[in-house]
Amino acid sequence: MNKELSRFEAFLPIIFMMLLLGIGYGIFSLNPEPLLILAALFTGLIGIKNGYTWSDMESAIQDKFRMALPAILILVSIGLLIALWMAAGIIPMFIYYGIQLISPKFIIAISFIIAALISTVTGTSWGSVGTVGVALMAIASTLDANLAATAGSIIAGAYFGDKLSPLSDTTNLAPIAAGSNLYEHIKHMFWTTIPAAILSLIVYLIVGMNAKSNVYVSNEKIDVMLTYLSEHFSFNILLLIPPLLILFGALKKLPTLPIIIMSSITAAILAIIFQGAAVQDLFTIAVSGFEISYIDNVDTAPADIVRLLTQGGLASMTGVLLIAFCAFSFAGIMTAIGALDVIIETLLLIVKRVGDLILATVLSGIIMAIVTGSSYLSIIIPAEMYRKSYQKFNLKMKNLSRTTEDAGTVVVPIIPWSSAGVFMATTLGVSTIEYLPWAIVCYSGFIFAIIYGYTGIGIAYEDEKTAD
């Protein structure tokens, strides 16, 4: 017979996992995947001690995989998209004209704005980072800008747009899980998201204006980059068709995966027409990613160019998938043995007023993000656990849906072992720890949420009566 875990037993796996990752990954730079497997094994032993079977835990792990499968398919398709957009000359074209238009003083702030706009329109933070984000990082590298700050601003902008886009999966999931309305939820998000964006832009502008990078010092490097791109790629306005397909699909609310595949196929056709790519090479590029060897001799090409143009491919996402599987194994076992339920119930004991409830929701979302690395679980589980408490305090459910996004969706990309964190770091070439301080939207949102909870600002009630 299954026995309910004690509080100590419920929190012990999280403590153990944090110690493993903090020491092993943070200090000794060990691969996080084996560490997560060890944490899952440790958690499983606690479950067995309390009467749970491997069958119980295996079923829960499978449930987590089934829930994540749509996101995994999109993730893999983005690797394909990046590689074929590179082969077609789409990303190189964005880089070529972007270098000439963007000042190094404003690259960080502009990166935030562009990523935010693209993500709002398309509803995908990962897609925005994987396409325009890659181009912006290349431009920042050429302009000698702060790459960690640029990466952080791109990620912050992408998640800002993701939170406010009616096309985003998490933006749709949050009001469904909490029981609120989609457009009321988006409007209510303005209270925390807009101040976070303003704060971010102020920081990015100050850092950019005080940067030591000098555009004249970079002129030779820029000239080499521009000359190389113009000599090895043919640019044409028709290369905008694949990005426009993504935009069209988003505006028409078409399924994301088929649109990404269509955009990738179109890019492959354009690569044949404008870049003279061979069909057999495109099949290799789709799997292994684009490499400089397809257009030039690697030994004679500048190192910066090689690093810049080596991007994408289905295989490039295997690392992200592997760590996701390991994290979901840990999360599945935690769910199966009831540890997460005990943790949430413990946090509810501190709730005496609205501010406490918001704080408990935030802490639960952050714990879920740290433990599972999943935006979906960081929304669903706190929303399910706290819905009755929000009703008790006479609060509209859009408060709950907003808080789950503030503490769940946008926190995940700053967790180094999460699939989002690994994807962002791999795609942009900057480690999670390096870009974390600069992804201001990803942690300032829940700070505003806590402040509002205790001050009453931006808190919506079912009627005029306020809860003490």
Looking at the fold, whether 422 and 310 belong to one and the same domain comes out as: no
C-alpha 11 chain-centroid distance: 26
Establish if 248 belongs to a structural domain.
yes
Residue 221: pLDDT band (50, 70, 90) is: low
**Top mean-pLDDT range of 81-85, 127-131, 395-399:** 395-399
- Domain membership flag for residue 431: yes
Establish if 174 belongs to a structural domain. yes
Instruction: With beta carbons less than 8 A apart as the criterion, state whether 188 and 460 touch.
Output: yes
The residue range of the domain holding 43 is 7-66+322-455
**Is the Cβ–Cβ distance between 450 and 366 less than 8 Å?**
no
At 464, is the pLDDT very low, low, confident or very high (cuts 50, 70, 90)? low
Domain-terminating residue out of 283, 317, 351: 317
What average pLDDT score do residues 320-342 get?
83
Write down the mean pLDDT value for the chain. 85
Whether pLDDT at 468 is above 60: no
| CA-to-CA dists, residue 343 to 48, 67, 174, 362, 387, angstroms | 19, 22, 21, 13, 16
H/E/C letters for each residue in the chain?
Answer: CCCCCCHHHHHHHHHHHHHHHHHHHHHCCCCHHHHHHHHHHHHHHHHHHCCCCHHHHHHHHHHHHHHHHHHHHHHHHHHHHHHHHHHHCHHHHHHHHHHHHCCCCCHHHHHHHHHHHHHHHHCCHHHHHHHHHHHHHHHHHHCCCCHHHHHHHHHHHHHHHHHHCCCCHHHHHHHHHHCCCHHHHHHHHHHHHHHHHHHHHHHHHHHHHCCCCCCCCCHHHHHHHHHHHHHHCCCCHHHHHHHHHHHHHHHCCCCHHHHHHHHHHHHHHHHHHHHCCCHHHHHHHHHHCECHHHCCCCCCCCHHHHHHHCECCHHHHHHHHHHHHHHHHHHHHHHHCCHHHHHHHHHHCCCCCHHHHHHHHHHHHHHHHHHHCCHHHHHHHHHHHHHHHHHHCCECHHHHHHHHHHHHHCCHHHCCCCHHHHHHHHHHCCCHHHHHHHCCHHHHHHHHHHHHHHHCCCCCECCCCCCC
Residue 361 near residue 348 (C-beta atoms within 8 A):
no
pLDDT at 466: 43
Is residue 465 included in any domain, yes or no?
no
* Domain end among 280, 295, 317: 317
Residues 41 and 189 reside in one and the same domain: no
Percentage of residues in the chain with pLDDT exceeding 90? Answer: 42
92-116, pLDDT tens digit by residue? 888 788 767 777 788 899 999 988 9
Q: What was the pLDDT predicted at 307?
A: 72
Phi, psi of 325 (to 5 degrees): -60, -40
The predicted-structure confidence for 272-287, as pLDDT tens digits, reads as follows 999 999 999 999 999 9
Contact criterion met (CB below 8 Å) for 170 and 391 = no
Structure tokens at 429: 């070439």
Please report whether residue 255 resides in a domain: yes
pLDDT tens-digit series, residues 26-51: 678 788 789 889 999 999 999 999 99
The domain total for the chain is 2
Split at pLDDT 50, 70, 90, the class of 214 is very low
Q: Which residue among 284, 317, 350 closes a domain?
A: 317
Same domain? For 192 and 283 the reply is: yes
Same domain, 206 and 347: no
Residue 460 lies in a domain: no
- Average pLDDT (372-390) is 79
Q: Looking up tokens 């690093």, which residue turns up? A: 307
Residues 6 or more apart whose Cβ sits within 8 Å of residue 285? 83, 84, 86, 87, 277, 291, 294, 312, 313
Q: Are residues 297 and 328 in the same domain?
A: no
Instruction: Give residue 373's identity as a one-letter amino acid code.
Output: G
Give the position of tokens 């910066």: 304
Residue 418 located in a structural domain = yes
pTM to 2 decimals? 0.70
Q: Per the domain annotation, does 61 fall within a domain? A: yes
Mean pLDDT of 131-153: 86
Tell whether 353 and 380 lie within a shared domain.
yes
pLDDT at position 324, please?
Answer: 73
Q: What is the pLDDT of residue 78?
A: 79
- The pLDDT, as a whole number, for residue 405 is 93
> Quick one: 106 and 251 in the same domain?
yes
Considering the domain architecture, whether residues 232 and 103 belong to the same structural domain is answered as yes
Judge if 386 and 272 occupy the same domain.
no
Taking the C-alpha atoms of residue 459 and residue 452, their distance in angstroms, rounded to an integer, is 7
Question: Residue 115: how many CB atoms within 10 A of its CB?
Answer: 27
Mean pLDDT to the nearest integer, 425-443: 93
Q: Are residues 189 and 215 in the same domain?
A: yes
Q: Do 20 and 43 form a contact (C-beta atoms < 8 A)?
A: no
**113 and 246: one domain?**
yes
**Taking 50 as the threshold, does the pLDDT of residue 232 lie above it?**
yes
Give the separation between CA 90 and CA 176, rounded to whole angstroms.
37
The pLDDT of residue 217 is above 60:
no
**Residues 74/126, Cβ–Cβ less than 8 Å:** yes
What is the pLDDT confidence band of residue 215, given thresholds at 50, 70 and 90?
Answer: very low
16 pLDDT higher than 70? yes
What is the per-residue pLDDT across 441-455, written as a single tens digit (0 to 9) for each? 999 999 999 999 999
Q: Are residues 148 and 256 in the same domain?
A: yes
10 φ/ψ angles, rounded to the nearest 5 degrees:
-70, -40
